Amino acid sequence: MSRDVPRLVGQDLRVPLVGSGDARYVNLDYAASAPALEQVAAAVDEFLPWYSSVHRGAGFKSQVATQVYEDARGRIHAFVGARPDDVVVITRNTTDSLNLLAHALPDDAEILTFAGEHHANLLPWRRRRVRHLDLPDRPSDLAPMLAEAIRATASPNILVAVTAASNVTGELWPVAELTAVAHEQGARVVVDAAQLAPHGPVTIATWDADWVALSGHKMYAPYGAGALVGRRDWLQQRAPFLVGGGAVAFVSTDEVAWLDAPERQEAGSPNVVGAMALGVACGVLEAHGTGQMLEHEAALAVEAAAALDGIAGLRRLRLFGDDHPSIGVQSFVADGFHHNLVATYLSAEHGIAVRDGCFCAHPLLLRLLGVSHDDADKVRDAILAGDRAAVPGAVRISAGLATTSDDIAAVSRALDLLMTHGPSWNYRFDPADGHHVPDPDDRPMPALRALQPR
First-to-last alpha carbon distance for the chain, in angstroms, is 49
- 289 in Cβ contact with 314 (< 8 Å): no
Whole-angstrom distance, CA of residue 230 vs CA of residue 260: 14
Residues 6+ apart with CB under 8 A from 414: 345, 346, 349, 350, 352
Residue 336: what residue type? G
Residues 6+ apart with CB under 8 A from 413: none
Whole-angstrom distance, CA of residue 356 vs CA of residue 341: 9
- 263 in Cβ contact with 90 (< 8 Å): no
Backbone phi and psi for residue 269, each to the nearest 5 degrees, phi listed first = -70, 120
- 332 in Cβ contact with 314 (< 8 Å): yes
The H or E element that residue 184 is part of is helix 175-184
Residues forming a β-bridge with 171: 326
Annotated catalytic residue within 162, 334, 360, 408: 360
Residues 6+ apart with CB under 8 A from 124: 95, 98, 99, 101, 102
Is 360 annotated as catalytic?
yes
- 327 in Cβ contact with 306 (< 8 Å): no
Whole-angstrom distance, CA of residue 206 vs CA of residue 191: 13
Whole-angstrom distance, CA of residue 35 vs CA of residue 41: 10
The DSSP result for 346-385, as a single string, is HHHHH-EE-EEE-TT-HHHHHHHHT--HHHHHHHHHHHHT
What 3-state class would DSSP assign to 226?
strand
Q: Output the CA–CA distances (angstroms, integers) from residue 224 to 4, 198, 212, 247, in the order listed.
A: 28, 16, 18, 20
Q: What is the set of active-site residues?
A: 360
